[in-house]
Amino acid sequence: MLYNSLIIYKTNIKKKKIIICNFIAIKKKFFFLKIKKKLFKKMLNIKQIIYLMFIFNFWKKINFKNVILITTIFINNIISNIDGLFKLYLISIGILLCNFINLNNIFEKLINLIWTNIGCYYIEDFTKININKINLIIESIDKIPYLTKFYLPSNIRLSNTNRVRLGAFLSKGTTIMSEGYVNFNTFIGNNCMIEGRISSGVYISNNTDIGGSASIMGTLSGGGKNIISLGNNCLLGANSGIGFSLGNNCIIEAGLYITAGTKIFLFLNNNFIIIKAKKLSFINNLIFYRNSLNGKIECCKNFTKTININKILHNN
């Protein structure tokens, strides 16, 4: 599927590369009689810009300088820095779901930039800037910026904006505490509390609580291609972690890290059977814990089927 966006862009000092932009209007199709094309960019004339200003009522946001129309195809490889940022932006605003867009070569095409409180800069250009005169603060040196540099989700609580990257989708009611971290290409459902690490590729459903310093394995850095998801009403205790998917109403004990190949002693029909953790993926109402007497990791049915959370703490 093809997506277009009208953008206002900024270049590096030599004006040879587009390094950053604002995505003004996103449509699947724009109808023009004639558009001058150059790679992924579509150069607009003044009449076409005025036409878009009428349609989208962006009189206060747009000007006639540095305006182009860009196009991306979500199944194609990323072709430029702006194309990569655009695809991440489409995930963050909910037009495309995580893991349904081609981000395979994203780190090859994105540019390492210096992100500051007043914009971003090409690294080679930064030495020409007098930091003291403009009260500039360096926030990060990275290829992927914070989510709030491009988009501000509604009805969320975000304790530290630099802990969520562009390409993360945060549903309403989400709370990200200061030690929580959400990488790009992720989905967080409604009313979740995040105090741990959400790696790239992870999908979390509604009303789930990720405890302090807990972590979920993703699809980067040797994490494999298996997408890990958590169902509704799950709880990962502090300092716990998983490398397999959970169903609804599941609990991982604090301090317990379980990978897909971990041997689990499953309590079934009044007996324990040994099974790999990945075989329990997507099964509802399970509790995982370590037996304090023999050190074995055990699993049994969660008969309560509900997890009591602090509703006042979760309320945004």
Which regions of 103-151 does DSSP assign to beta strands (E)? 113-116, 119-122, 138-142
Question: Of 108, 139, 195, 253, which is the active-site residue?
Answer: 195
Residue 195 is among the residues annotated as catalytic for this protein = yes
DSSP string for residues in 91-147: HHTTSS-TTSS--TTHHHHS--EEEETTEEEEHHHHTTS-HHHHT--EEEEESS-BG
Cα 42 to its chain centre, rounded Å, is 28
- 26-43 burial, b if ≥16 CB within 10 A, otherwise e? beeebeeeeeeeeebbbe
- Which pair of tokens denotes residue 133? 């005169």
- Which pair of tokens denotes residue 11? 């270049």
- Which pair of tokens denotes residue 7? 């953008």
The shares of helix, strand and coil residues in the chain, as percent rounded to the nearest 5, are 15, 35, 50
Cα 91 to its chain centre, rounded Å, is 7
CA 299/CA 279 separation, integer angstroms: 12
227 exposure class (CB count in 10 Å sphere: 0-12, 13-18, 19+) = middle
**Are 194 and 267 spatial neighbours (Cβ–Cβ below 8 Å)?**
no
CA 58/CA 44 separation, integer angstroms: 16
Identify the residue whose tokens are 């093809």: 2
Which of 145, 128, 142, 11 has the alpha carbon at shortest distance from 89? 145
**Are 101 and 91 spatial neighbours (Cβ–Cβ below 8 Å)?**
yes
User: Which amino acids are annotated catalytic?
Assistant: 195
